[in-house]
Structure 1
């Protein structure tokens, strides 16, 4: 490895270190309570080093959220090759919950932690998030076109489904599903997804669900 390549690698490693440290501090103490100096002290460098990579802590938060949305979008794209719109929609929901279960820190930063969102529509990760939402809307449109869902405002239908899945994910990763035995959580999640789609479906519908286990720690 040449000098130039080594320097680039060191820069990349430092950026990752800053992001990982900032994520932990943001989640442990709250975004508003953390400064660039706090992050610098944690990685044992001067604040000036942080500023070589990020203008401010907002930019660090945006970089973390972008990483998260990219991971989520990649998971959700796995549903695109499913022809049946209901099964595709189910897979889309599973991917969302799987992302939350496997990446609770990212999920917190993206959807639950308070942070500045003043210029969110001008940020590049906004486009990635919008693409994920458009995937959901297109699935809903296909269900309506085939008479599987009643025709209504697509945004209202998509937002309703998203809200349900977000609620499931949030409850589980925050430990609010403790009333269920650990070995039943996966079936509860899949059953809830099926129930949600049945409620929106205007016919007697069921899926022989052979989906991948949603709860990582339950895999054998």
Structure 2
């Protein structure tokens, strides 16, 4: 392996180490109580080393967001083969729920944890996050244009569907369904049926 290639790999390995550490600490301590020094102590490097890769913890948080939304968007894009836009919408909703159930930590960081999004505001485009929502919006637009659901503002409809699904999975991620003592598969089935019922109420 060439020296340049080895150095690039080592650089990426260090970035990944920092991101993995920050992800765990954000979840364990919360955003406010996690600092560059905390992350440095966790990976046993100096804070100065981290500043070689990231300007501050906001940028680290942004990268974590990008990685998580890229995973979600990748799952959404698997539904390109579904030509009927309403059926694709239902598949997106199911994928969203499955993503939250399989990746509760990521979901917490993406949608629930209180943290400043200043880095996102500084970026010209929020690539992965925008792509994921745009896929939902484009699918909803197809449903409206083809009169598969009741007419209305496409953006508002997309936000309504997302908000409904988010409310359900947030209850799950934060353990609010635990008090019901329901098996995991029953909870999953309940979430799927709730979203399906919501979507059916939108049908034309």
SS in 1 for 2:147: coil
CA distance in 2, matches of 1:12, 1:166: 33
Matched, 1:114 2:114: yes
CA contact (8 A) 1:79 1:92 kept: yes
CA contact (8 A) 2:68 2:106 kept: yes
Q: Which residue of 2 aligns with 1:81?
A: 81
CA distance in 1, matches of 2:13, 2:95: 29
Q: Which residue of 2 aligns with 1:166?
A: 166
Q: Which residue of 2 aligns with 1:154?
A: 154
CA distance in 2, matches of 1:136, 1:5: 38
CA distance in 1, matches of 2:23, 2:108: 10
Tell me the TM-score normalised to structure 2 length. 0.91
Give deviations 1:99-126, integer Å, cap 9, x for gaps.
2222222211111111112352442661
CA distance in 2, matches of 1:21, 1:124: 27
CA distance in 2, matches of 1:7, 1:106: 29
CA distance in 2, matches of 1:188, 1:42: 39
CA distance in 2, matches of 1:169, 1:64: 20
Q: Which residue of 2 aligns with 1:212?
A: none
Describe how 1:29-48 pairs up with structure 2 within 5 A: 29-48=29-48
Q: Which residue of 2 aligns with 1:195?
A: 197
Q: What is the root-mean-square deviation in Å for CA atoms of aligned residues? A: 1.7
Tell me the TM-score normalised to structure 1 length. 0.85
Displacement after TM superposition at 1:74 (Å): 0.5
- Of 170, 181, 184, 1:182 maps to 184
5+ residue gaps, structure 2? none
